[in-house]
Amino acid sequence: MSDSSALPKASDFPAGTTFVIKEFDVPLAWIPGRGWVNWFGGTPRPYDPSFLKVDNNWPADSFEEWVRIVEASVKST
């Protein structure tokens, strides 16, 4: 992903997807039927949820907040 037009859209995800931010800059998503996915860098990769702790992650306030984290991670790679 080299530009914001390639960022994920809410319509790319099935109903029931949960968007999570880990440690302020890692965009994670729990996708029904697929499990946890790490979107850091703009490319989805499977994520091991054993790394999630009570105090290192939280639900995104909105999809828009979550996708801004994805966008920032693309720019930093």
The tens digit of pLDDT for each residue in 25-58 reads 999 999 999 999 999 999 999 999 999 999 999 9
Q: What is the mean pLDDT of residues 57-74?
A: 98
Structure confidence at residue 6 (pLDDT): 81
Structure confidence at residue 5 (pLDDT): 54
Q: Measured at the alpha carbon of residue 51, what is the angle toward residues 63 and 40, in degrees to the nearest 5?
A: 40
Task: State pTM to two decimals.
Answer: 0.90
| Distance separating alpha carbons of residues 9 and 5, to the nearest angstrom | 9
Q: Does 17 score more than 50 pLDDT? A: yes
Exposure of 47 by Cβ count < 10 A (0-12 exposed, 13-18 middle, 19+ buried)?
A: buried
